[in-house]
Amino acid sequence: MNNFTFLKDNLPIFLPLIILELILMITAVRHVLTHPQYRFGNKSMWLFVVVLLQIIGPVIYFAFGRGED
């Protein structure tokens, strides 16, 4: 079985996860860029965490890094 067949067969499973991850990442990046306060760290650190850690990065940001609104 080659990689293309595997991807084609599992696309209905992966596509919603990819869309969810992108929405979560875009929301977290937007929040990082528009809010000046964070509980821990600074803007560049949180952008690094959100973008490079994919699904877990935005979750970490919203759980621990987001400052008071």
| 3-state class (DSSP) for residue 69 | coil
User: Exposure pattern of 8-46 as b/e (b: 16+ CB <10 Å)?
Assistant: eeeeeeeeeeeeeeeebbeebbebbeeeeebeeeeeeeb
Segments forming the whole domain that contains residue 22:
3-65
21-69 pLDDT per residue, tens = 999 999 999 999 998 888 888 889 999 999 999 889 998 888 888 776 6
Domains: count for the chain? 1
What's the pLDDT score for residue 9? 85
Q: Is the pTM of this model over 0.75?
A: yes
Amino acid code (one letter) for 45:
M
